[in-house]
Amino acid sequence: MNASSPSPAQNQATTTSLYGGVTNRRVTVRDLAAAKQRGEKWSMLTAYDALTAGVFDEAGTPVLLVGDSAGNCHLGYETTVPVTMDQMVMLSAAVVRGTKRAMIVADLPFGSYQESPAQAMHNAARLMKEAGVGAVKLEGGERSARSIELLVEAGIPVMAHIGLTPQSVHAYGGYPVQGRGDEAAHQLLRDAKAVQQSGAFAVVLEAVPAELAAQVTEQLMIPTVGIGGGPDTDAQVLVWTDMAGMTAGRVPKFVKQYADLRAVLGDAARAFAEDVRGGAFPAEEHSFH
């Protein structure tokens, strides 16, 4: 075995659960393919910083996505459109530093790959080299097929994203469900097959009817990752701020909220302020002499 050949541990896809089966290395595309083979469903969460990513990594989440949803969920923009490559590199590098075991996938933001496959290659290489991610994600089915092919040929694992593609929010005029009606459903199937054919290792299906997502999942060899795609995809992804109750206001119908962190943090901040106002903090045990 030379320095560049994979070790037996790296070579071996997990045959047990993604949660318990890989502890001494990062999850790989081979592990995800093996999970599909044995019918194991898995979860993916977004992450935008080292601390939060570390929590999810320790909890066993096998794949973390540095989504360009950082735009509206972390950086204070209204949409994902303004997010830049420099921002994605910075956030992705933090997530990589904060984790040991999860596969880290980073989004190529709007305007960083649509121009040409060469542009996609240049920016995907930045995410791999400067941030150290294990894979990139980009939006689009047939329209992104040539770029996916080039990246995969160059050794970059690509997760595709079809159905509702949030970078097109201005063209849609909102975030409408996709794939309704025969023609749209056929297009979604064509998109799914095109990204698989181009070498994508997985595909996100966003905001599509559950029956259609099930049909795509059945017809593809690669894992499907649903968000608003019903219960039958191979994996499910949620934006962490939605999942943990940090998002202010309404969340999409497909979100399940597993905690109420916004209330917890608000209560903590109010209790701190009260202690300071009343002189209860700092107490003797918090003081130096």
Active-site residue set: 206
In order, the DSSP letters of 85-139 are HHHHHHHHHHHHHT-SSSEEEEEPPTTSSSS-HHHHHHHHHHIIIII--SEEEEE
Residue (19 or 254) nearer to ligand KIV, CB: 254
d(CA 188, CA 214): 12
Using CB atoms, what's the residue nearest to ligand KIV? 67
- Site residue total, ligand KIV (CB under 6 A): 11
* Binding flags for ligand KIV, 65-94, as an x/- string (CB under 6 A): x-xxx-------------------------
Kindly tell me which residue out of 204, 216, 220, 244 binds ligand KIV, with binding defined by CB under 6 A: 204
Candidates 31, 57, 107, 234; binder of ligand KIV (CB under 6 A) is: 107
Among 14, 43, 46, 72, indicate the residue that binds ligand KIV (CB under 6 A). Answer: 46
Cβ-based neighbours of 165, under 8 Å, separated by 6 or more: 139, 140, 206
Instruction: Answer for the pair 161, 139: CB distance below 8 angstroms, yes or no.
Output: yes
Q: Of all helices (H) and strands (E), which one includes residue 35? A: helix 29-38
What string marks each residue from 205 to 244 as x (binds ligand KIV by CB under 6 A) or -? ----------------------x---------x-x-----
Closest CA to 206 of 273, 262, 269, 252: 252
Greatest alpha-carbon span in the chain = 75
The distance of closest approach from Cβ of residue 165 to ligand KIV in the complex, given in angstroms and rounded to an integer, is: 8
| Structural element, H or E, at residue 57 | helix 50-58
User: Is there binding between residue 28 and ligand KIV (CB under 6 A)?
Assistant: no
Pairing state of beta strands 63-66 and 103-107? parallel
List binders of ligand KIV among 142-181 (CB under 6 A). 161
Residue 112 makes contact with ligand KIV by CB under 6 A = no
Please report, as ranges, the residues that interact with ligand KIV according to CB under 6 A: 46, 65, 67-69, 107, 161, 204, 227, 237, 239
